[in-house]
Amino acid sequence: MKNTNNRIIIFDTTLRDGEQSPGVSLNIDDKLQIGRQLEKLGVDVLEAGFPVTSPGDFEGVRTLARELRGVQVTALARAVKKDIDTAWEAIKEGEDPRIHTFLATSDIHLKYKLKKSREEVLELAGEAVKYASKYTSNVEFSAEDASRSDLDFLCKVFERVIDCGATTVNFPDTVGYAIPWDFARMIKYVMEHTPNIHKAVLSIHCHNDLGLATANVLSAINEGARQVECTINGIGERAGNTAMEEVVMAIKTRHDCLPYETKINTRHIAATSKLVSMLTGMVVQPNKAIVGANAFAHESGIHQDGVLKERTTYEIMNPKDIGLSSSSIVLGKHSGRHALKAKLEEMGYQLKDDEITRVYERFKVLADKKKEVFPEDLEAIVAEEILRIPEKYKLTYLHVAGGSGIRPTATVALEIDEKEEMAVSVGAGPIDAAFNAVSKIVKTKSKLLRFTVNSITGGTDAQGEVTVRLQEGDKVVTGQGADPDIITASVRAYLAALNRLAYKN
């Protein structure tokens, strides 16, 4: 029987599956900032972490459950009591908290990983859900590796867990193996052969190993799945998870084929993507659908001509719908604070007065150096200013000498507790020299985990946007810097990260 309810529940797992991306590690402040943005974006369910895995994860989940409202905060737990107890402890202060427990159902996982029979797995799944239901009626069960499981066995497991109290049953394509029409066939089978499926929401969770995650999700919705598990920018384990922005914008843009509704306020998509990219250090590929820098850029003369005559000749979506400005030239050096504030609001940023003042000061400096200031430039400034925490180390002077035949040398001065300290250092290149000079002054023991540079817009006067990720002991922090001078941007990013470390100590 077809599912006639057309509301799609958006379950965001950026902070759990997304955080499982290689090299990503978010601290509690980062998680809270992303959580608040996801709340604004309008996600229905937010998976905040896997609390049993570490005390840090537990604290992160607990903080989000306490702080966020209007969203169901959930936490992951294996189908064992200890995990379920810990997950509940972390989420119990949330609004309508959900326990998300999982167990693999494919023969390959049963044989090699779990070393259990189907009968044992069926029992364990039911028991885990029963146990979780003692805490809350909002329980989700995921059949890990569902897409490689025997479908009749899977239906039995779903039937059992629904009988035991699961209100959502999730069908993950854990290894990204599914092909859209075959995935649709499997979802249809589950809908037709799980006798009590109408008592639960059928969810899907697709990985992107073959680049088919979004296609698989859309084909599953068509067969009755009503919850989509996804992440911002598609980050996640290995090749990632389904990108939320792709699913949401596909539904919005092709409503003729996809007559469904979500609660997402799409105008916050660009800002959310930017924030997640900044804090995770995972750069969005320029040609990424919806949120890539080139997603609304038109290079060919024929396309540019068409768009100027009528935008819809080559644009199927309005950039404004995801929170981007449609005008390419935004503000110049004569623009005032009011114009900047209006532009920022149009881009989806609601900043406090002191934040606007800081952004305005940076904007004026940039507008003096750069012919045109684009929305992307403003986004970089906003990200840097808003993520800023009290500055222990302030850059007061930077001079770098380099070039062919010259040993790169940097002179750096920092203001620390109202006193200026200076150092000179050499390095493999000018950025290395500048970093060496900074660490001479700060005497940091931190290790550089990641250094990424991105050009924000085209042209040689474009701002460079740098992300630096540092580790000191068990603390991992990220800093960002943006400037038309790439060395200045790098030093700013390095200092932002060092300031975060100092703030945490």
Query: Which chain residues interact with Zn ion by CB under 5 A?
Result: 17
CB of 102 to ligand KIV, least distance (A): 4
d(CA 140, CA 256) in angstroms, rounded, equals 31
By CB under 6 A, residue 174 contacts ligand KIV: yes
Cβ proximity to ligand KIV: between 179 and 239 the closer is 239
Cβ proximity to ligand KIV: between 31 and 392 the closer is 31
CB of 426 to ligand KIV, least distance (A): 47
Q: Using an 8 Å Cβ cutoff, are 363 and 351 in contact?
A: no
Q: Using an 8 Å Cβ cutoff, are 7 and 224 in contact?
A: no
d(CA 228, CA 394) in angstroms, rounded, equals 44
Q: Using CB distances below 5 to 8 A depending on partner kind, what does residue 463 bind out of Zn ion, ligand KIV, none?
A: none
Contacts 24+ apart (CB under 8 A), 355-364: 355/385, 355/386, 358/385, 358/388, 359/385, 363/331, 363/335, 364/333
Span of 167-175, 209-217, 297-305, 418-426 interacting with ligand KIV by CB under 6 A: 167-175
What lies within 8 Å, CB to CB, of 331 at 6+ separation is 339, 340, 343, 363, 367, 373, 378
CB of 151 to ligand KIV, least distance (A): 17
d(CA 487, CA 481) in angstroms, rounded, equals 10
By CB under 6 A, residue 102 contacts ligand KIV: yes
C-alpha distances in Å from residue 258, one per residue of 221, 227, 251, 288: 9, 14, 5, 22
Cβ proximity to Zn ion: between 17 and 57 the closer is 17
- What distance lies between CA 436 and its chain's CA centroid? 31
Q: Which of 401, 414, 335, 321 is nearest to 367 (CA)?
A: 335
Q: Using CB distances below 5 to 8 A depending on partner kind, what does residue 102 bind out of ligand KIV, Zn ion, none?
A: ligand KIV
For ligand KIV, the binding residues in 2-21 under the rule CB under 6 A are 17
For ligand KIV, the binding residues in 14-53 under the rule CB under 6 A are 17
CB of 236 to Zn ion, least distance (A): 6
C-alpha distances in Å from residue 346, one per residue of 34, 52, 94, 295, 319: 20, 41, 32, 19, 12
Cβ proximity to ligand KIV: between 47 and 465 the closer is 47
Size of the site for ligand KIV (CB under 6 A): 10
What lies within 8 Å, CB to CB, of 121 at 6+ separation is 103, 104, 105, 110, 114, 157
What lies within 8 Å, CB to CB, of 310 at 6+ separation is none
d(CA 73, CA 96) in angstroms, rounded, equals 7
For ligand KIV, the binding residues in 205-244 under the rule CB under 6 A are 205, 207
Q: Using CB distances below 5 to 8 A depending on partner kind, what does residue 142 bind out of Zn ion, ligand KIV, none?
A: ligand KIV
Q: Using CB distances below 5 to 8 A depending on partner kind, what does residue 72 bind out of Zn ion, ligand KIV, none?
A: none
Q: Which of 209, 198, 152, 146 is nearest to 172 (CA)?
A: 146
Span of 37-45, 147-155, 169-177, 415-423 interacting with ligand KIV by CB under 6 A: 169-177
Cβ proximity to ligand KIV: between 209 and 391 the closer is 209
CB of 196 to ligand KIV, least distance (A): 21
C-alpha distances in Å from residue 133, one per residue of 34, 143, 163, 177, 431: 29, 17, 11, 32, 55
Span of 51-59, 168-176, 316-324, 338-346 interacting with ligand KIV by CB under 6 A: 168-176
Cβ proximity to ligand KIV: between 140 and 483 the closer is 140
CB of 295 to ligand KIV, least distance (A): 27
By CB under 6 A, residue 144 contacts ligand KIV: yes
CB of 360 to Zn ion, least distance (A): 42
CB of 229 to ligand KIV, least distance (A): 7
Name which position in 51, 60, 126, 172 contacts ligand KIV (CB under 6 A). Answer: 172
Q: Using CB distances below 5 to 8 A depending on partner kind, what does residue 110 bind out of Zn ion, ligand KIV, none?
A: none
Residue-wise DSSP of 145-162: TGGGS-HHHHHHHHHHHH
Q: Using an 8 Å Cβ cutoff, are 48 and 61 in contact?
A: yes
Span of 170-178, 286-294, 348-356, 377-385 interacting with ligand KIV by CB under 6 A: 170-178
Within 10 A of 240 (CB to CB), how many other CB atoms are there?
A: 23
CB of 209 to Zn ion, least distance (A): 11
| Dihedral, 243, 380, 392, 408 alpha carbons, nearest 10 | 110
Q: Using CB distances below 5 to 8 A depending on partner kind, what does residue 234 bind out of ligand KIV, Zn ion, none?
A: none
d(CA 136, CA 89) in angstroms, rounded, equals 12
Binding site for ligand KIV (CB under 6 A): 17, 76, 102, 142, 144, 170, 172, 174, 205, 207
